[in-house]
Amino acid sequence: MKNKNKTILVTASAKRLGKFIATDLVKFGWSVAIHYNKSKQLAEETANDLSKTGGKITLHQADLSNNSDVERLVQELENNQSIWSGLINNAGYFNYDSGNDFNLKSLNDHMTVNFVAPTILTKALANFTLKMQKAKKNEQGIVINILDAKIFGLNPDYYSYTLSKQAMHGLTKMSALSYAPYLRVNGIAPGITLSAPGQGEREFKKSHKKNLLKASSTIGEILDAVQLLIRSKSMTGEVILLDGGSHLAPPTRDVAL
């Protein structure tokens, strides 16, 4: 397949949404770099399953809150046998606080994983892609940031998390502007897609209906959006919003509460 010698890094791809994205990329012929922090066993199982389907997989451990780990991750990707061509910033730190009780640690924890690490990885891919172009490889890099529909329909809950995702939205626009034409940067902002840890099926279905269309984003829709952004060579600086219309009439409190 034409993408076989091109690698896309999917952060936090041992489980949940990241695993679905990595699996779908393999179906389209991409080599995939699976990143994990503490979920080593799940990452190895995911890599083994995808390898059995013919996927070309590499495993990478990194704590995205640790700058030296991020730098090591970049070096591993640059030294990979296939060409590092894409980045899907899926990893996220998500913990509850409010504007009244947040503290500096909470703010830093959210910003480091949800904004700083994606910023560093995006710059690294831009530099690598430019180097490939100078070597006559004629590559164009792809970045997709997994945002959150919440930032387009605000409520006061998850204060530090929301700020960090708003910063990531700004990164999407600024990096698209800064790294053109050799890097395209876009985003996807899903609504409620997967049940939260500890959330029952009944509560999950109820939360899915708290919007104008009485249904929120699905895994399939997110995977379709990923493929659209990869294929659309003229699209950069764009964010696809998948929330069932919730941003048009946002709830006063977060639906997870």
Which pLDDT band, with edges at 50, 70 and 90, does 24 fall under? very high
Preceding peptide of 251 cis, ω within 30°: no
Range 237-257 average pLDDT: 85
> pTM (2 decimals)?
0.94
Cα dist. 63→69, 189, 207 in Å?
A: 6, 24, 31
- Each residue of 104-125: pLDDT tens digit? 999 999 999 999 999 999 999 9
pLDDT at 253: 77
CB atoms within 10 A of CB 2: 8
Number of continuous H segments (helices) and E segments (strands) in the chain: 8, 7
Q: Are 254 and 158 in contact (CB under 8 A)?
A: yes
Q: Which residues fall within 8 angstroms of residue 249, CB to CB, at 6 or more apart?
A: 153, 211, 212
pLDDT at 2: 64
Q: Are 47 and 59 in contact (CB under 8 A)?
A: yes
- Domains of the chain plus CATH, in order, are 6-248 (3.40.50.720)
